Structure 1
């Protein structure tokens, strides 16, 4: 791993742990035992570090999600995607999302593009496969439901809709997903879903 990549990886780790505004270039340099001047040899400012760190993070996410394609069925795939999202949220300081939205629009645009393009297409394909497998209901509109699923992810992270002093991003996300999945599965799909949840460590709400 070269110096530039080390700076991005350390920056990503610090941003996820403390948020963006709380982390300075001095903090990144200190963690890597390098000078701040060294960082500026590779990046013009903090915004560029944040933007490229988020781009690097998203590329890792794409690889992780792509590995889920060969699972048993569409319910398991959708649940595993959600598990990845929940694990990411559990590992991220909630202020990171707010900081990106307000102070780093380029970095936030990378996150949004990932959700609205890569993730949306993955959900469309997943729903189409689930209908063919007989575990998602016939007559569903994959495009509409994919947009709904992506917007649920946005909603769970929206501090205005779900203030952090009243709602947990993690719990809110899972509850929205639980309503979503139970609205599209057949009886066969519901059985797959409930059996799968019993096998993995995902918090559950009351199932219908």
Structure 2
């Protein structure tokens, strides 16, 4: 039954939008069915329960994020351009997510939360490591970087921020923390040639 909903992007998109903007606990299956203009019975013909729907939304989000990372790698002019594209993307995505959403996911669906974090961490780590190697090959990043160590540090800090253990949701928007974290990472890995390139790109389009 779960397989049937994977082809229904409209359901996943609507449910995902509602979960992100309102929170997970506050959104009922009745609410989702109403927004879609279908009966709850029809919705339950697509998915067994709310937890299954949440899982599918998270899987779709992960699939989309991986696709975007790969597109940026292929389309970017260089490693700095790629990392800027990724940073802008995740900052904008985080602005769509209510603090309540992550709180609800971690508190009421801990297994799904940690599964989501692990899936993102694995793919994100590969992307960051490849970007570091690319930047060193292009002469934009410092030659003394250990890509594996720095990638693990960067991704580990990102996951810590998402977990909200260090920065409670009410203190700072998650998107702003990600923005500061991205800026910190850039300034730690570029050489002087890369810094000039980074400044050039940021003059064209700053981090949002």
Q: TM-score, normalised by structure 1?
A: 0.90
Q: CA RMSD in A?
A: 1.9
Aligned residues: 203
The alpha carbon displacement at 1:123 in A equals: 0.7
| Counterpart for residue 120 of structure 2 | 115
Determine if contact 2:87/2:207 at 8 Å carries over to the other structure: no
Which deviates more, 184-193 or 1-10? 1-10
- Structure 2, unmatched stretches of 5+, are none
| Counterpart for residue 79 of structure 1 | 84
1:146 to 118, 131, 151: 151
- SS of match in other structure, 2:72: coil
- 1:31 equivalent to 2:71? Answer no
The alpha carbon displacement at 1:18 in A equals: 0.9
CA deviations on 1:26-69 (whole Å, 9 max, x unpaired) are 11000011111111112111000000111012111211111111
The alpha carbon displacement at 1:4 in A equals: 4.0
Determine if contact 1:51/1:104 at 8 Å carries over to the other structure: no
- SS of match in other structure, 2:73: coil
Which deviates more, 91-100 or 30-39? 91-100
- Alpha-carbon distance in structure 1 between the residues aligned to 2:11 and 2:112: 16
**Which runs of structure 2 are paired with 1:1-208 in the superposition (5 Å)?**
4-70=8-74, 71-203=76-208
- Alpha-carbon distance in structure 1 between the residues aligned to 2:82 and 2:114: 26
Q: TM-score, normalised by structure 2?
A: 0.90
